[in-house]
Amino acid sequence: MAAAHRTASKKKTPSLRRHKATGQAYVVLNRRAIYLGRQDDPATERKYHQLVAEWIASGRQLKPRPHQTTVTEVAARFWQHARQYYRKPDGTPTSELRTFGQIVKLVRRLYGSAKATAFGPLALEAVREELVRSGLTRQTVNGYVGRIKHVFK
């Protein structure tokens, strides 16, 4: 019963709220308050409807803020996609999902708190060197590096 209640509550549309002290309207999406302007401004309600529609269309996720997104957030968003995409017709996970899981863990361990925009060629080279040091073959390392690039696309 509790699980059904949680599922039902996730499907509700978040309401437009009013911050008493400032008179600002805001909505809470993914536990983050987003202020939209004065409650009495007609543009505020339009912003609210637009924001909630985009949030629902993107799978009830907020649009990432590129300048603030961390490597961990990129990895989490990719992992959310991969868990659904890399499945056999009968629904069981593929070996590719396990491989991506290993790669995501390594990248998060080395660069998890870094900004995603800072993960460039030098960082990729450092991850590659870590893979080489672990004793993997050249072919395996190259395959993993290609998958890391895929995660960041």
**Separation of alpha carbons 143 and 134, rounded Å:** 15
Indicate whether 96 and 146 sit together in one domain: yes
Q: What range does the domain containing 112 cover? A: 71-152
> Do residues 25 and 12 touch, judged by C-beta distance below 8 A?
no
Q: What is the model's pTM? A: 0.57
Residues 85 and 146 in one domain: yes
36 part of a folded domain: yes
Question: Do both 76 and 47 map to the same domain?
Answer: no
CA dihedral of 73, 75, 76, 80, whole degrees rounded to 10: 140
Q: Who contacts 37 (Cβ-Cβ below 8 Å, separation ≥6)? A: 24, 25, 43, 44, 47
Q: pLDDT tens, 10-68? A: 578 899 999 888 888 999 988 888 888 888 888 889 999 998 998 888 888 877 666 77
Domain co-membership, 35 together with 85: no
Whether residue 82 is found in the same domain as residue 145: yes
pLDDT digits (tens, 9 = 90+) for 68-91: 788 988 898 898 889 889 999 999
Same domain for 85 and 118?
yes
Nearest to 148 by CA among 117, 113, 106, 93: 106
**Shared domain check, 20 and 50:** yes
* Number of domains observed in the structure of the chain: 2
Assigned token pair, 66? 């590129």
Asked whether residue 103 falls in the same domain as residue 142, the answer is yes
